[in-house]
Chain A
Amino acid sequence: MILTDFDYVKPGTLGEAVALLAAEGSRVLAGGQSLLVDLRTGDGTATRLVDIRGIAALRGVRREGEGRLHIGALTTLAELAADPLVRAGAPALAEAARANGDPQVRNLGTLGGNLAATGRATDLPVAVIAADATINLAGRGGQETLTADAYATRGLPAGAVITSIEVPVREHRHHSAFEKTADRATRYPLCAVAVRAAYAGDGTAADLRIAVTGATARVQRLRGVEELLLGGPTGTGEVLAAFRAQPRDMFVPGRGASAEYLGHLAGVLTARALARAAAR
């Protein structure tokens, strides 16, 4: 039972949704798999839920020009995990969508909701950041596009609705993978890592993006680790050494695990992800 009272509205267009969201206390409702829990437990509040699932423009996965995928924000985690275009072009994103082990949550939870869930580590943000995706938003100021790095540093602007993401797909150059150790009770990541790498002829890393969540204060790119690994081999030894060379305060304790443990876990998961990416 949800004890908070709120209004429920279901606009048919993005314009109507943005106008409705301008009011204080309005929140976006998509799959509801985080929001309804928060309203139930009292961890979140709302006076009006704006159900965006009736907006057709927010659906679908398609190729957008040369080497880009356009993925609508209402794409469910189940659809994302199974989509042939996503699996071929951005496998780390499909793996991240599949990483929530609960099929019922995957059937309702959406890409946009997973990216927008605030205050908790979720699976998709690392994959979106590692993929160098851009995030399309609609808000009071109109449409806006956020780069993955801006999203990683600043998060999402208040009151904005995620409409879609665009993912660069370079099948023959970049290889990506996602790894996660889940908290057993909640299935949220204790730590999750996504990588995207390109390799030179001799197997050394020519281009590298690594993103982590759970082990750090917020989801972020690990530029320090990337810099140490760039131009060299990315075996387990090198990766763990690069993690050990990071500032001590980079990793933070969480979900009963120490910072030291989570920092090591992030290194192990990164090494696994890079090994799988290299084999692709």
Chain B
Amino acid sequence: MKISLQVNGAPADVEAEPNELLVETLRDGLGLTGTKVGCDTGQCGTCVVQLDGKSVKSCLLLTAQAEGSEVTTIEGVGEGRELTDLQEALRAEHGTQCGFCTPGMVMSLSELVADENAAPSEPEIREWLTGNLCRCTGYHSVVRGVQRACAMRTADTAAAATAAKE
């Protein structure tokens, strides 16, 4: 089947079998290997991407179902090679460890902090991560990373407000 997607802002016309999963198209068809395959049954969250701005598991979505949708992968967050605030804060807090779960974590958490004023509590962040498994068991540093990212933005906003007043 011919499927038309938008992937990371660019049109992508792909040929996919009806039983092809989006994660297979992204990795094997388009070479976007930042999205990982862990469990392949929707439990581990290493394959999380965003579909029209919502985080979804790309191993639980047929490529055909994504027809006409905007798909964002880890390669498409941030400007070029610049890290987003969230990625920078996860790096600073050592929230990556072995790194295998990180792309999925970033794509999932990006939805949680999508609102500029988002300031999720620790329980809210931990609950949101229900769909992302880290087998280095490094959730503490991930939680601190999310809170740091939100604090960085709040500080930026406050600084901008002060600058505007002056």
Contact = CB atoms under 8 A, between A and B. Distances in A.
Contact of B18 (A1, A7, A53, A107): A7
Bin the interface of chain A by size: 20 to 34
A106 B12 CA distance: 27
B60 A33 contact: yes
Given A103-B111, A104-B57, A37 B19 contact: no
Interface residues of B, number: 31
A40 to B, nearest CB: 6
Contacts of B130: 101-103, 187
Contact of A107 (B24, B54, B64): B54
A259 interface: no
Given A4-B19, A8-B64, A29-B65, A107 B41 contact: no
A193 B40 CA distance: 30
A105 B47 CA distance: 13
List of 9 A-B pairs having minimum Cβ-Cβ separation, nearest first: A101-B130, A102-B131, A8-B18, A2-B19, A107-B54, A104-B131, A8-B64, A104-B57, A102-B130
A107 B62 contact: no
Among A4, A49, A107, which residue has the most Cβ atoms of chain B within 10 A? A107
A66 interface: no
A10 B63 CA distance: 13
Given A8-B18, A103-B55, A186-B43, A108 B127 contact: no
A6 interface: yes
Interface in B7-22: 17-19, 21
Interface of A: 1-2, 4-8, 10, 29, 32-33, 36-37, 39-41, 49, 51, 53, 78, 101-105, 107-108, 185-187
Contacts of A186: 43
A141 to B, nearest CB: 29
Is chain B's interface secondary structure helix, strand, loop, or mixed overall?
mixed
Interface in B30-57: 40-43, 45, 48, 51, 54-57
B100 interface: no
A10 B62 CA distance: 12
B21 A2 contact: yes
A36 B65 CA distance: 12
Given A103-B111, A108-B61, A186-B43, A6 B131 contact: no
Contacts of A4: 19
5 contacts: A8-B1, A37-B60, A40-B59, A103-B112, A108-B57
B139 interface: no
Contacts of A49: 18, 62
Nearest to A48: B18
A10 B3 CA distance: 13
A183 B128 CA distance: 17
B108 interface: yes
A40 B41 contact: yes
A186 B128 CA distance: 15
A51 B128 CA distance: 28
Given A8-B1, A103-B112, A104-B45, 6 more contacts: A10-B67, A37-B60, A41-B41, A51-B64, A101-B131, A108-B61
Contact of A36 (B17, B51, B61, B108): B61
